[in-house]
């Protein structure tokens, strides 16, 4: 079953000198329970794509449907994690996670139980009463993921969530995110500029061109889950990563 479907989506921004053709046309779908990575160079419209699918921005042309419904406003059944964690420094970790429940006027007792379960799953339950400014970057993003999943959304959208982290922490977060995905069974859209991250986390990779972002390739990732980081050293993994890299070299994004 297709949860998300894009058909000939374009986005054009008005500029002071001339309009900016930012995205598309681009078409693809995301199946229920699937993880799709979108990888491409900076400025190719990856974040714009996520915003359009989530209903945070409108497409100039084409259509986006989620669960069969045309997207014309922000959708509710999705948790979103951005590059910046957007945690509120004056609220404790647990209170940051509980914020969506407060805004939706949910049962806070049940929500607190769910929040603590998520923090435990993400390895930061011991910091529930701490404040964001007391945490490392990786720990803050774990809290942001817990907040995004609190209301049990069917979809999780991540916009380059680990790009500001050091390489070791980023690897750790890749493994943790995979574990959470398996446990929650959530349909996931990951925006990234890391080829290795895109392949490691996804069932399918959408390779985007430079601006305006269009689809250069769509690659099925055949590896079973859970995946270990050592998979990245396997020839089959290297072949997929190499296929993506060749696209970027051919279009001048990378110099081979």
pTM higher than the cut 0.75: yes
Identify the residue whose tokens are 């046309």.
25
Res 1: pLDDT: 66
β pairing state of 61-66 and 69-70: antiparallel
β pairing state of 187-192 and 35-39: parallel
Domains and CATH numbers, the chain: 33-56+154-256 (3.40.50.300), 78-152 (no CATH)
Res 26: pLDDT: 96
At 172, list the tokens: 């750790």
> From CA 192, how far away is CA 196, in angstroms rounded?
10
**Regions of the chain short of the pLDDT cut 50:** none
Res 19: pLDDT: 86
Res 95: pLDDT: 98
Helix, strand, coil tally for the chain in percent (to 5): 40, 25, 35
Res 102: pLDDT: 96
β pairing state of 204-208 and 215-220: antiparallel
> From CA 43, how far away is CA 142, in angstroms rounded?
26
Q: Cis link prior to 197 (omega < 30° from 0)? A: no
Instruction: Find the DSSP H helices in 152-215.
Output: 167-184, 195-201
Q: How far is CA 147 from CA 100, 106, 141, 185, in A?
A: 7, 14, 10, 16
Gyration radius of the chain over CA positions:
18
Res 254: pLDDT: 62
């Amino acid at each position: 079953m297709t949860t998300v479907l894009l058909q000939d989506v374009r986005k054009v921004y008005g500029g002071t000198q001339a309009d900016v053709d930012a995205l598309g046309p681009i078409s693809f779908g995301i199946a229920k329970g699937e993880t799709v990575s979108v990888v491409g160079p900076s400025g190719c419209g990856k974040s714009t794509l996520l915003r359009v699918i989530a209903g945070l921005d409108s497409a100039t042309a084409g259509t986006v449907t989620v669960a069969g419904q045309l997207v014309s406003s922000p959708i509710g059944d999705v948790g979103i994690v951005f590059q910046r964690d957007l945690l509120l420094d004056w609220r404790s970790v647990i209170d940051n996670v509980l914020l969506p429940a407060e805004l939706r006027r949910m049962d806070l007792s049940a929500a607190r139980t769910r929040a603590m379960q998520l923090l435990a799953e993400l390895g930061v339950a011991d910091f529930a009463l701490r404040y964001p400014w007391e945490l490392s970057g990786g720990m803050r993003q774990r809290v942001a993921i817990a907040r995004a999943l609190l209301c049990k959304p069917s979809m999780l959208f991540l916009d380059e969530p680990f790009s500001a982290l050091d390489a070791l922490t980023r690897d750790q977060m890749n493994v943790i995110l995979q574990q959470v995905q398996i446990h929650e069974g959530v349909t996931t859209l990951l925006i990234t500029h890391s080829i290795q991250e895109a392949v490691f986390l996804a069932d399918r990779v959408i390779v985007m061109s430079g601006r305006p972002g269009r689809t250069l390739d769509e690659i099925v990732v055949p590896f079973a889950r859970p995946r270990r980081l050592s998979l990245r050293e396997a020839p089959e993994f290297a072949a997929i990563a190499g296929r993506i890299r060749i696209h970027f070299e051919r279009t001048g994004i990378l110099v081979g």
